Structure 1
Amino acid sequence: MPRHLRSPVSQMNQVKSSPRKRARSKVVTQEKIDKRIAAGDGQGVREEYVPWIKVRAFASHGTSHIVPGVKVHRAHHLLSNAEYHYHVILEHDRSIIDIREQFPLLPAVETHAIASSLNIRPPVYPGTSIPLVLTTDFLITQVDSAGKERLVARSMKYAKEIEDASKAEQDRLLEKLEIERLFWARRDIEWKLVLYERLSQVRIRNLLILRSYALISPALVTEKNISRMLEVISAARTEEIPLKTLLLKMAKSLYMEYMGVKCLFFHLLWVGMLKIDLNSKIIELSKPLHVEEMNLIEFSSGEVSRHA
Structure 2
Amino acid sequence: MPSGMEGVAMVSSYYSTSMKVQKYLKEGRGQGIGINYIPWTKTSDYSSLGRATRIKGIKIPRIFHLQSDIQYRAFLLFEYHSSVIDIRETYPLLDVMETINIDDLRFDKYRDKDTNEPFVIITNFLLTLRDEKGKERLIARTVKNTSELKRKITWEKLEIERRYWSEKGIEWKVITEKQLPRILAKNLEWIRETLLEGNEEEFDKDLLSTHLLSELFNNDHLPVRNVLRQFDKTEGLPKGTGLFLFRYLIAKKDIRINLNQLIDLSETVKNLTLMEMEEHVWS
**TM-score (norm: length of structure 2):** 0.83
Structure 1 stretches (4+) deviating beyond 4 angstroms?
Answer: 284-289, 303-306
Letter in 1 for 2:36: E
1:275 aligns to 2:256 (yes or no):
yes
Residue 269 and residue 291 in structure 1: after superposition, are their counterparts in 2 closer, same or farther (change >3 A)? same
Matches within 5 A, 1:3-14: none
Q: Residue 217 of structure 2 aligns with which residue? A: 234
Partner of 1:45: 33
Amino acid aligned to 1:254: E
Q: How much is the aligned-residue C-alpha RMSD, in angstroms?
A: 2.7
Aligned position for 2:147: 160
* Aligned-partner residue type, residue 183 of structure 1: Y
Between the aligned partners of 2:118 and 2:157, the Cα distance in structure 1 is 13
CA contact (8 A) 1:78 1:84 kept: yes
Return 5+ residue gaps in structure 2 as ranges. Answer: 1-11
- Shift in alpha-carbon separation, 1:191–1:288, aligned structure 2, 3 A: same
Higher-Rg structure is 1
Contact 1:98 1:142 (C-alpha < 8 Å) held by counterparts: yes
Deviation at 1:236, TM superposition (A): 1.5
Per-residue Cα deviation, 1:120-158 (whole angstroms, up to 9, x for no partner): 334213422111110000001111121111100000000
- Of all paired residues, the percent bearing the same amino acid is 30
AA partner of residue 234 (structure 1): F
Gap runs ≥5 in structure 1:
1-23, 164-169, 295-302
For 1:174 and 1:25, locate their aligned partners in 2 and report how far apart those are by CA, in whole Å: 25
Q: Number of residue pairs matched? A: 266
The Cα shift of 1:26 comes to: 4.5
- Amino acid corresponding to residue 136 of structure 1 in structure 2: T
Residues 100-249 of structure 1: pairs in structure 2 closer than 5 A: 100-110=88-98, 114-116=101-103, 118-122=104-108, 123-163=110-150, 170-215=151-196, 216-217=199-200, 219-222=203-206, 224-237=207-220, 240-241=222-223, 243-249=224-230
CA contact (8 A) 1:203 1:278 kept: yes
Q: Provide the C-alpha distance between the structure 1 equivalents of 2:252 and 2:42, rounded to a whole number of angstroms.
A: 29
Aligned with 2:240: secondary structure? helix
Choose which of 239, 250, 261 in structure 2 pairs with 1:258.
Answer: 239
State the distance in 1 between where 2:80 and 2:280 align. 11
* Cα displacement string for residues 215-262 of structure 1 (whole angstroms, at most 9, x for unaligned residues): 35385333x323311221012135x52x43321112233343233332
Deviations 1:75-100 (A, max 9, x none): 11110000001110111101101111
Residue aligning to 1:13: none
TM value normalised by structure 1? 0.77
